[in-house]
Structure 1
């Protein structure tokens, strides 16, 4: 993880670094406190109604405004951490030996400091959130006995503890990272620190909370990447970094998609909580309008950047003052927007939207009016904002790569395209059709979705050869040029984590062992009530399946070369354990997650134990379908390997005039003479 420190010029280097640290600290604190001030003002508008609706005593002004201020400052720090890690990972290239250059080194150190500040704010939020929920003054809450007792009873306190843990891990990792590859890990951990708060708040309860939570995840990540990336690029341009034109161009592309994600997800999240009429009649609606206005201003500034300042910077790299000035204005508007967002999260949604909802709607976010039928599975759709959108994006990006190859006259097998599109379509259907709608409510339907996401979708995606397509469609950076997406993919394939995960034993244990761990250890019963758990399960199903089938039937380049015979052995050695799992599930005497499924109070009668046995039968039977596909794929790959070897032998024979064959014949002739 560590290596030699990046080279910094000796003369005036220390003074320059000290000056830049002062600028970074000043801009970060100014942004944080501006966001905090806006959050305090917004909170003051709705503090009384929030306390009244909560039905608890007023905890005092320290808690009321402290929650808003600390949250706003912390979220700005989180944005700086994420943006700086993103900058070091993808906006500027490392040195030739993989060690971060000066700009990347500075950015990853900023990410470490910002993550530490985010962790401190999260720790401060633990007693503040307990005081806010209980109505007790902060001085009472801070007593150790009260703090320990209340921690287990207040969900917000646990949310902030998890946030602090992820932020501290991100800070510690960023502090020791000097090589480029590890910056991606820092970025991932920093993004994970956003997830606890994204899964809490207004969006995590009540009707439609599945849509609200998924849209909030997209909204928070998009806004954080947008602001944090701008912050990092702005500081780099101000310091006159060598790759500032490249960094600004790359950020511009990322910012465009971040704007799109933030806008769409924000509209969806607002409409879940209010009607259009509330925009002009309620404080919550007025704050939504203010936030939308701020986002429009940010979008306009971004468009101006793309048209004027970025173009000018590309034409005159030394002239950066215009970009810096507009960037500073944009950062300040971002700080105001973050403050509005925090104040909005502290403001009760319109009272007219509060209504009695059924138990199943409260638990999974939507109503289910009848038992699953073929018609409901096929036509009763509820679009999944995360996995449904991912399926569409994957299909579009893949087709763009195919079109790029065709335009330059290169061939790409139609079968691979068909396999990939079918895999994306199946992912969309599994998560957004009636199958996805009934999956959280019935164990048997959940098992169909599980088997589809771990057994069928990965097989189709792997047969699509996306890595090979990307390596052929993306242009190489060229000697002496900074690495781009093609080089990033190659580096990821040959990295140490990839070699570890593609070890046959590791991949098989992750794929098959997770079945037993999830359903037969009590883990499923513990996590199934939580929306976050369903998201993580879906991610695990697809990723673990893709990893296993990439090793077994993958046509993409892999860190490990496995012979067809070894691949067949891996399949034959792993799939029986999958069949045993289905049998074990059918023979289980207790109902898995019984309290959860009974608590849904579905409007029809069915036996949970019988439904579980059906789920076990599905798990046992569905293993046969991918087995047939795998066998066919292995036979085809085996035949093609023999054909390639034969062609190589023929070409060599032409070059050396059958030297090997002549030598072999001479050996036989010599043996005959000896007889």
Structure 2
């Protein structure tokens, strides 16, 4: 978290809080790179039991370890990425470019998450996702606190309070994510409450206690320290250092326990599907056993939690409602139907990414297609009329100190050249249609089906393309592209024609997509019949949102005409129908010339 740049006149050789924060980040990245290299080296010595030497055989074994063994590759990638982040922190000072450096820095932690669970074992994707989120947000939480401590001598007077308030909000989000991801990780590795009495379970309880203490410190920080600083004009004094010291101490305990957990055997064995005595084809392909036969009840009761999207939807609802509450407290109104639509859209997105559809998506092409149609057609139809960009612009606090908050970042993103280009009606329609053919008839389909990262990318891609296209048709947020309503209907009909053609191609086709995956599941239903059912879903279910969009566009067109008619009537009343009189005079003059 880089604090804002001060507006004071720079001294010779300026060392502002902003640039010093980047220097702290660079030094931290350099330390992380060195620590990763050392850890990878000692991991090699521990795993291979090779004595330290300087001979050629030692170098050959080390090269093979970091080049061919997954754990060695992970530490090599982590070290290289950390080194790149170090250089970029020194070289980059632009706030916009630093977003990409920040993303790269967070990605540096993900290879370590891959080491925390056996590949091919049951629950591998959920375990890696939970551990990755745990590492990233714990680093944001602890790293942000240490950065504030390092910059404390510079943050005098009115500068300290806003930085602490911003960090407090960031710490709250991090606490929620760390707690949720920690719960998922513990559940996967403990399985039953009885295992809490094992050595691994006791360490989990110690970590939970440290996390609860950190949560209490967060409450104290928000309710007492910040209030005291506001009343004292921004001065923190002893209260600041006492609270920070205690928080760092408990973070150290939690981090130490986490390191101990990483080296402690779990009560539940992590056995890859290939090592089972009699694995099914589905287990060999997915690492998971087949779910129960699909039925309406199972689509409602079965759950396969994707923590990323569960958190996205939860925070999406919480932040939206918080924005609406802030507007109401300020005396501004916000349409109730927008709030209802946003919550409904987020709940639908949460179900598609965590519910029964997600449970069957790896095994049935028809379930995958159902998820695709809902993500591109149904969810955006609910989210777009909720006008989230307008809400952020009105509810989020405008910053005046040169830094960027949620409002500034969102407005910068939606007004960027890239966003302007992809939100053009023609481009949005081409992306919407092209995604069907470009995704299913390319290696992207295999990647999204067999790899969890590909699956996450697929969800993001379908959501964005659907959101862009629906925004062109019924968007209420400000946009540089406003097309006539007749053109909107033509775009809708044209894209839906390609959509229907794609569905018919699947319904009538005899070639099986991903035959070595969907055709090898050992499911009772024929893979080709299921693929043809998927085509029927693409053709039929896609038409329902299309009809809804057409009706909404027609209603917006009618209301626009009504508003234009009223505007002309008011203008005529003000001017005494001067425009109509002038028009009649011109016609009369032309008639006289004849």
After TM superposition, list the pairs within 5 Å mapping 1:539-618 onto structure 2: 539-586=460-507, 590-597=511-518, 600-601=521-522, 604-618=523-537
CA contact (8 A) 2:122 2:287 kept: yes
- CA shift, 1:172, in A, is 5.3
The residue that corresponds to 1:156 in the other structure is 71
Q: Which residue of 2 aligns with 1:221?
A: 136
Indicate yes or no: 2:379 matched with 1:462: no
1:211 to 1:124, Cα distance in 2 relative to 1, 3 A: same
2:559 corresponds in structure 1 to 640
Establish whether residue 327 from structure 1 lines up as the match of residue 244 from structure 2: yes
Q: Does 1:432 align with 2:432?
A: no
- Cα distance per residue 1:308-327 (max 9 Å; x no partner): 44333332434545424542
Native 8 Å contact 1:525 1:592 kept in 2: no
- Following TM superposition, by how much is the alpha carbon of 1:109 offset from its aligned partner in structure 2, in angstroms? 4.0
Q: 1:236 aligns with which of 148, 151, 155?
A: 151
Structure 1-normalised TM-score? 0.75
Distance in 2, matches of 1:220 and 1:108, equals 21
Report the counterpart of residue 266 of structure 1 in structure 2: 182
Aligned counterpart, 1:67: none
Moved more, 462-471 or 303-312: 303-312
| 1:384-533 equivalence runs, <5 A | 384-402=306-324, 405=327, 411-472=333-394, 474=395, 477=398, 484-533=405-454
Q: Aligned partners of 1:511, 1:141: CA distance in 2, in Å? A: 56
| Counterparts in 2 of 1:516 and 1:156: CA distance versus 1, 3 Å | farther
**CA, structure 1 residues 343+382, in 2 after alignment: closer, same or farther (shift >3 Å)?**
same
Q: Is the 8 A contact 1:498 1:559 kept in 2?
A: no
> Residues of 1 paired with 2:467 and 2:365: CA distance?
23
Once residues 40 and 432 of structure 2 are traced to their aligned partners in structure 1, the CA distance between those partners, rounded to angstroms, is 37
* SS in structure 2 of the partner of residue 188 of structure 1: helix
Q: Distance in 2 between matches of 1:528 and 1:176?
A: 39
Q: 1:353 deviation in Å?
A: 7.7
CA distance in 1, matches of 2:10, 2:299: 68
Question: Contact between 1:203 and 1:213, CA under 8 Å: does it hold in 2?
Answer: no
The Cα shift of 1:9 comes to: 5.6
Shift of 1:122: 4.8
The structural deviation recorded for 1:375 is 1.9
Q: Relative to structure 1, is the Cα distance of residues 586 and 396 closer, same or farther in structure 2, using a 3 angstrom cutoff?
A: same
Distance 1:290 1:589 in 2: 58
**RMSD between superposed Cα atoms in Å:** 3.7
Q: Deviation per CA, 1:285-331, whole angstroms, max 9, x where unpaired?
A: 33323323433443344344334443333324345454245424533
Distance 1:592 1:134 in 2: 42
The Cα offsets for residues 634-669 of structure 1, whole Å up to 9 and x where unpaired, read as 222222332333343334444444333333233223
Match 2:164 to one of 248, 264, 285: 248
Deviation digits for residues 243-266 of structure 1 (CA, Å, limit 9, x no counterpart): 221010121122223223322331
Partner of 1:42: none
SS at match of 1:238: helix
Aligned to 1:276: 193
CA distance 1:110–1:588, shift in 2 (3 Å): farther
Distance 1:395 1:194 in 2: 28
Give the 3-state SS of the residue equivalent to 2:524 in structure 1.
coil
Partners of 1:673 and 1:498 lie apart in 2 by 55
1:650 corresponds to 2:572: no
Q: Is the 8 A contact 1:458 1:549 kept in 2?
A: yes
Larger displacement relative to structure 2 (264-273 or 311-320): 311-320
For residue 348 of structure 1, what is the aligned residue in structure 2? 265
- In structure 2, how many angstroms separate the alpha carbons of the residues matched to 1:292 and 1:303? 17
- TM-aligned CA deviation for residue 152 of structure 1: 6.2
Q: Distance in 2 between matches of 1:588 and 1:525?
A: 19
Match of 1:667 among 586, 589, 592: 586
Does structure 2 conserve the Cα–Cα contact (< 8 Å) formed by 1:455 and 1:545?
yes
Q: CA 1:309 to 1:398, structure 2 compared with 1: closer, same or farther past 3 Å? A: closer
- CA displacement at 1:461 relative to structure 2: 1.2
> 2:203 is matched with which residue?
287
Tell whether the 8 Å contact from 1:453 to 1:542 is kept in structure 2 after alignment.
yes
Q: Greater CA deviation, 445-454 or 658-667?
A: 658-667
Higher mean alpha-carbon deviation, 398-407 vs 655-664, is at 398-407
Do the aligned partners of residues 500 and 425 (structure 1) sit closer, same or farther apart at CA in structure 2, a change above 3 Å counting?
same
Give unpaired runs (5+ residues) of structure 1. 18-101
Matched, 1:209 2:124: yes
Gapped regions of structure 2 (runs ≥ 5): none
Distance change >3 Å, CA 12–CA 480, structure 1 → 2: closer
Distance 1:509 1:673, change over 3 A: closer
Give 3-state SS (helix, strand or coil) of 1:350's partner: coil
Q: Distance in 1 between matches of 2:186 and 2:43?
A: 24
The 1-side partners of 2:57 and 2:237 are apart by 49
Instruction: Please state if 1:337 is matched with 2:254.
Output: yes
- Superposition deviation, residue 448 in structure 1: 1.1
State the secondary structure of the residue aligned to 2:207. Answer: helix
Q: Distance in 1 between matches of 2:65 and 2:130?
A: 30
Task: Call closer, same or farther: CA 1:335–1:495 in 2, change over 3 Å.
Answer: farther
